[in-house]
Amino acid sequence: MKKALVIGAGIAGIAAAIRLQVKGYAVSVYETHSQAGGKLAELHLNGCRFDKGASLFTLPEEIEDLFAITGENIENFFAYSALPVVTKYFYEDGLVLNAYANPQEFAEEIANKTQDTAETVLRFLAASRDKYELTADVFLKQSLHKFSNFLNFKTLHSLLNIHKLDAFRTMAAANRQTFKDDRVLQLFNRYATYNGSNPYQTPATLNVIPHLEHNIGAYFPQEGMYGIVKSLVKLAEKKGVQFHYNTPIQEIIVENKQAVGIRLASSDTPLLADKIVCNVDVVNAYRRLLPKEKAPEKILAQPKSSSALIFYWAMQREFPQIDLHNIFFSKNYTEEFRHLFDLKTIYEDPTVYVFVSAKQVPTDAPKGFENWFVMINVPNNTGQDWEKLKATARQNIIQKLSRILQVDVSQYITAEDYLDPVRIEALTFSSQGALYGNSSNNRYAAFLRHANFSTDIKNLYFCGGSVHPGGGVPLCLLSAKIVAEVI
């Protein structure tokens, strides 16, 4: 039986392992840490359970497909439900908008509370659907680095309709011509942050993202986001995948321009295989695991996405006025992004995201408590004084939440942990602590990501958020599918 080795048990690595096991490979996964998941990890603190990373679940069919190809019943491993309200938006002027998953309800909510009409919102979501249908098969579900993939009807159809992708305006410029109300404009500009980008720089093509939430739907796993990891590891192990935790990799062994195995940090004895799949940030993959090989410097030098500052707070109080996903907007979005991408620092009035999984999974917090995942977008790590930035940002976050919720939230924090770009980089080997690899702040960004395979080293493949098609749970799962198809 042919052997495949997967480096890294992030969500893409697990999915790649399942797909290769189904293809007949004997697959082993090697993970530096004591648990699988990568950025999709979990934390236990003062009786509360936290999802440490990704918190929004879309495109569940990419999870379902992994069970379908193995012949297993997903109901024996994994359960999830649709969210009637995707996100609750709070503004400093007192406006509260419920982003209903149903497009008509969402449009009516906006029409009833702002200067924009339901028709405007529905037209926007229809255009978002068109963008997805034009881009998904061509730019997300296949390799952009194999010429043969461009010689088909779907690609030709997309190219003939490229004007609909709106790649020559920024997201903010396009949305300014669509929405009258600045608060609605801010809501739809926020989608640039889903891949760590700047709405004032990234192309309007990224207006495809709202389609996932409001035309397809947003969901939540029955056991929280880490439930995705647990269910897929369970599936992989049932199919015969071997997981090795607490096992750092020293290098990928290359002989005659062909990947032939790996060497563990704990042993000089090589582990040989027919295929090597690397689920490590591509910059660190070359710098740490392939130091003797020529690196694709132009790709590795591309500007990185934003990062995050996250506080995990065990709150000794329940807050009925907030939902599962909540956004507390900055008063000045333009200035916030100028600080984020131009000044490489944190604006004094950041937009704050609060995720409370206990709203859907009551066992994630003791009775009378809530588990608050509190995040702001911050620049990637270029040597800033993060201790100082973190302390100031924490104070500003507490003041903002207390002001809008009209209660001093600080008095209910009973325990705290955090992630900042330095910790993110150390724990996940993400270059500069960037959450999504390269940024998408130009119209060619989709073509500037590293391929899912090496063009110089045979039998070496790449998956995860730093390579094509990008970051986030659905795209990481798609990267694993592309790897399996290329192999």
pLDDT value of residue 148: 58
pLDDT value of residue 440: 77
- pTM for the structure as a whole: 0.94
pLDDT value of residue 154: 61
The closest alpha carbon to 99, from 54, 51, 63, 56, belongs to: 56
pLDDT value of residue 444: 65
pLDDT tens digits, 193-210: 998 999 999 999 999 999
Whether pLDDT at 156 is above 60: no
Q: In the predicted model, what is the mean pLDDT of residues 349-375?
A: 98
Q: For residues 338 and 345, give the distance between their C-alpha atoms in angstroms, rounded to a whole number.
A: 9
pLDDT tens digits, 208-254: 999 999 999 999 999 999 999 999 999 999 999 999 999 999 999 99
Residue 224 contacts residue 357 (beta carbons within 8 Å): yes
Lowest mean pLDDT of 14-18, 110-114, 300-304, 310-314, name the range: 300-304
pLDDT value of residue 438: 84
Residue 470 contacts residue 487 (beta carbons within 8 Å): no
pLDDT value of residue 410: 98
Residue 208 contacts residue 131 (beta carbons within 8 Å): yes
Whether pLDDT at 479 is above 60: yes
Burial class (CB in 10 A: 0-12, 13-18, 19+), 297: exposed
pLDDT tens digits, 267-300: 989 999 999 999 999 999 999 999 999 999 998 9
pLDDT value of residue 143: 64
Q: In the predicted model, what is the mean pLDDT of residues 388-394?
A: 98
pLDDT value of residue 454: 95
Q: In the predicted model, what is the mean pLDDT of residues 104-111?
A: 98
Task: Give me the phi and psi of 416, to 5 degrees please.
Answer: -150, 145
Between residues 465 and 161, the one the model is more confident about: 465
Q: In the predicted model, what is the mean pLDDT of residues 133-152?
A: 66
CATH classification (class only), 3-40+223-302+443-486: alpha beta
pLDDT band for 146, please (50, 70, 90 cuts).
low
pLDDT band for 264, please (50, 70, 90 cuts).
very high
pLDDT value of residue 135: 79
pLDDT value of residue 153: 55
pLDDT value of residue 138: 65
Interhelix angle 11-22/61-70, rounded to 10 degrees, is: 30
Lowest mean pLDDT of 24-33, 36-45, 247-256, 440-449, name the range: 440-449
Sequence spans of domains, the chain: 3-40+223-302+443-486, 121-217, 306-428
Q: In the predicted model, what is the mean pLDDT of residues 348-356?
A: 98
pLDDT band for 136, please (50, 70, 90 cuts).
confident
pLDDT band for 180, please (50, 70, 90 cuts).
very high
pLDDT band for 321, please (50, 70, 90 cuts).
very high
pLDDT value of residue 54: 85
Whether pLDDT at 159 is above 90: no
pLDDT tens digits, 398-449: 999 999 999 999 999 999 999 999 999 999 999 999 999 888 777 666 567 8
